[in-house]
Amino acid sequence: MSKRNKLQKFADILSYPNVFENFTPKDPKLVGENGTSIDLKGKWNEIHFKNDHPITLELACGGGEYTLELAAMYPNRNFIGVDVKGARIWKGSTKALQRNLTNAAFLRTRIELIEHFFETDEVQEIWITFPDPFLRKSKANRRLTSPRFLEEYRKIMPKGSIINLKTDSPELYEYTLEALAEYPHAEIIYQDNDIYSKPLPIPELEFKTHYEYMHLEDKRLIKYVKIRLD
């Protein structure tokens, strides 16, 4: 992949057919290819994917490694990587185009705005892969498994939907277990504080992000929590 500066990357993704961006959090609207305004709430499959396949989100997707690998593994499902950083979105969306992964798209926005871009029950699954653990207690509500965010996910997911957390952070892992013990609308159906010490429970855990490779080099244990919404 050729080297591009940020301005070039931002220009690229503005021309991409698989990227949708919200530039102003106070005005939660999307623009798509060539800066055209577009309303995809409740219409992702109809307008963009042009099928009726289930939708999975990768939140804080970074370079979109999970979005890309899941899309390749499951061609009959649709995947959307969500991140606020344009340079990260460029990396994943560029690779998706190069690999002709038409079931992979990218949404550039703040995750707390997610309900503005998806309708009730529109999303069937969420992956949260190596998010910022926000270790300060004062920032606990910014953790993507906090009750605040779980409530946001419930607005766009049907009952019984699955949320997957993969992290190297023992603090985020323990926080998630404690938060879910008190949260009445979700339950833990699987947890493991060292997934590679035994056979993986699901094949999707084999995929590794850029950050995971770094954490493994540092001998950090990789943890996984599978959550079902009530």
Share of the chain above pLDDT 70, in %: 99
For residue range 176-205, what is the model confidence (pLDDT) as tens digits? 999 999 999 999 999 999 999 999 999 999
Contacts with 186 (C-beta within 8 Å, 6 or more apart), sequence order: 150, 163, 180, 227, 228, 229, 230
**pLDDT surpassing 80 at residue 26:** yes
**pLDDT surpassing 90 at residue 128:** yes
Q: Give 49-72 as a 3 state SS string.
A: HCCCCCEEEEECCCCCHHHHHHHH
Taking alpha carbons only, the member of 230, 89, 76 closest to residue 150 is: 230
210: left (phi over 0), alpha (psi -120 to 50) or beta: alpha
At 151, the amino acid letter reads E
Average pLDDT of the segment spanning 31-55: 97
Residue 2 has what pLDDT?
A: 54
Taking alpha carbons only, the member of 128, 102, 114, 203 closest to residue 157 is: 114
Contacts with 197 (C-beta within 8 Å, 6 or more apart), sequence order: 221
Cα angle vertex 106, ends 104, 112, to 5°? Answer: 130
Instruction: Please give the DSSP secondary-structure letter assigned to residue 166.
Output: E
Taking alpha carbons only, the member of 88, 190, 85, 81 closest to residue 127 is: 81
**pLDDT surpassing 70 at residue 31:** yes
- The residues carrying an active-site annotation are 132
CA–CA separation, 24 and 30 (whole Å) = 9
Domains along the chain with CATH numbers: 6-229 (3.40.50.150)
Residue 102 has what pLDDT?
A: 98
Residue 211 has what pLDDT?
A: 86
Output the DSSP codes for 198-218.
S--SSGGGG---HHHHHHHHT
CA–CA separation, 52 and 43 (whole Å) = 10
